[in-house]
């Protein structure tokens, strides 16, 4: 009983301690001290002038480029080396002699103009395309005839029978094909310009030609239907026997 009484008396003498006393917050002073140190550091940084960070290393200086190599030969010496052995032209010579290739070209004879192998093809194309002329041709090996497509077939029948008066004749005996063509084209143009209607082109039967075949017979048909004078011709046909037969081609000229 005496011990209980002494304990009660000791409790009355000791004051009560709160939850916020240092006894219950042993580290509260450390946190306050840490805040004060952070404020001091911030104030020191604000007062310090701006400048490079001493902790960072400065960049190393770049090495200078190596000097260019020294040219041991001057420009004057180089020029003298390149011009070694060159001699000046003699006085009075104002031109450099021609080269051998120039001499060969000067002595070479002028080339003769090549023969135009496509002249006939171009003439036919000009007649068919540019002039718009097209013919219907029949050849049985002895007699030949042709009619422009825009010509009345009855005109060809009259020509074949000899119903037209012959206004002019052209004899082609002894001519080459080239000569005969020029003469036929010139003759047909003139007769149409004069207003004539029918002409006779005498080419022969080919009795003196190889194999007895007339060379100009088929050529005349091509000249009249596909050559430059095709637009001057309406129809053509081998003449009837009384006008020369198979050795003559009658041409009906266009109006």
Count of beta carbons in the 10 Å neighbourhood of residue 148: 21
Whole-number Å distance between alpha carbons of 228 and 251: 15
Between 7 and 235, whose confidence is greater? 235
Q: Which of 248, 240, 245 is nearest to 163 (CA)?
A: 240
Residue-level pLDDT at 103: 52
Between 120 and 34, whose confidence is greater? 34
Please, are residues 191 and 147 in contact by the beta-carbon 8 Å criterion? no
Average pLDDT of the segment spanning 236-246: 92
Confidence of residue 7 (pLDDT cuts 50, 70, 90): low
Whole-number Å distance between alpha carbons of 28 and 33: 9
pLDDT over 80 (residue 51): no
| Total domain count, the chain | 1
Whole-number Å distance between alpha carbons of 126 and 117: 16
Average pLDDT of the segment spanning 61-65: 69
Between 249 and 62, whose confidence is greater? 249
Please, are residues 204 and 248 in contact by the beta-carbon 8 Å criterion? no
pLDDT over 70 (residue 191): yes
pLDDT over 70 (residue 58): no
Share of the chain above pLDDT 90, in %: 33
Residue-level pLDDT at 130: 44
Confidence of residue 186 (pLDDT cuts 50, 70, 90): very high
60 within some domain = no
Average pLDDT of the segment spanning 147-157: 93
Name the range with the highest mean pLDDT among 29-43, 96-110, 138-152.
Answer: 138-152
Q: What range does the domain containing 176 cover? A: 121-253
Average pLDDT of the segment spanning 20-42: 68
Residue-level pLDDT at 129: 47
pLDDT over 60 (residue 126): no
Between 200 and 45, whose confidence is greater? 200
Whole-number Å distance between alpha carbons of 125 and 134: 11
215 within some domain = yes
Please, are residues 171 and 244 in contact by the beta-carbon 8 Å criterion? no
Name the range with the highest mean pLDDT among 113-117, 132-136, 177-181.
Answer: 177-181
pLDDT over 90 (residue 171): yes
The model's pTM is 0.49
pLDDT over 70 (residue 248): yes
Q: How far is CA 184 from CA 66, 112, 155, 201, 228, in A?
A: 92, 28, 22, 8, 11
Between 242 and 49, whose confidence is greater? 242
126 within some domain = yes
Whole-number Å distance between alpha carbons of 86 and 217: 75
Whole-number Å distance between alpha carbons of 167 and 125: 30
Please, are residues 200 and 245 in contact by the beta-carbon 8 Å criterion? no
Tell me the pLDDT of the chain averaged across its residues: 75
Average pLDDT of the segment spanning 88-107: 57
107 within some domain = no
**Neighbouring residues of 225: CB distance < 8 A, sequence distance ≥ 6:** 127, 133, 135, 137, 146, 148, 233, 236
The SS3 assignment for 10 reads helix
Q: Are strands 135-139 and 233-238 parallel, antiparallel or unpaired?
A: unpaired
Alpha-carbon Rg for the chain in angstroms: 62
Unique residue bearing structure tokens 């420009």: 75
Unique residue bearing structure tokens 């070209």: 105
66 within some domain = no
pLDDT over 60 (residue 210): no
Count of beta carbons in the 10 Å neighbourhood of residue 240: 16
Average pLDDT of the segment spanning 216-242: 91
Please, are residues 230 and 224 in contact by the beta-carbon 8 Å criterion? yes
127 within some domain = yes
100 within some domain = no
79 within some domain = no
Read off the CATH number of the domain in which 155 is found. Answer: 3.30.1370.110
């Amino acid at each position: 009983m005496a011990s209980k009484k002494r304990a009660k008396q000791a409790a009355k003498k000791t004051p009560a301690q709160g939850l916020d006393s240092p006894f219950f917050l042993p580290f509260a002073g450390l946190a306050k001290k840490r805040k004060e140190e952070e404020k001091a550091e911030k104030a020191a940084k604000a007062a310090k002038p701006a400048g490079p960070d001493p902790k960072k290393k400065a960049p190393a200086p770049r090495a200078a480029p190596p000097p260019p190599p020294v040219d041991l030969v001057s420009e004057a010496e180089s020029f003298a080396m390149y011009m070694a052995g060159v001699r000046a032209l003699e006085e009075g010579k104002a031109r450099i002699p021609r080269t051998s290739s120039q001499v060969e070209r000067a002595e070479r004879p002028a080339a003769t103009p090549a023969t135009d192998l496509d002249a006939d093809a171009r003439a036919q194309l000009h007649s068919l395309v540019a002039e718009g002329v097209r013919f219907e041709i029949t050849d049985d090996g002895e007699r030949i005839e042709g009619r422009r497509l825009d010509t009345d077939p009855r005109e060809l029948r009259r020509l074949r029978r000899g119903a037209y008066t012959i206004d002019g004749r052209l004899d082609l005996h002894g001519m080459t094909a080239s000569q005969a063509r020029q003469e036929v084209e010139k003759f047909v143009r003139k007769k149409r310009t004069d207003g004539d209607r029918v002409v006779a082109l005498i080419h022969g039967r080919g009795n003196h030609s190889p194999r007895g075949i007339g060379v100009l017979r088929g050529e005349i048909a091509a000249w009249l239907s596909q050559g430059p004078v095709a637009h001057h011709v309406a129809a053509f046909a081998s003449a009837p026997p009384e006008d020369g037969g198979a050795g003559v081609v009658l041409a009906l000229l266009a109006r």
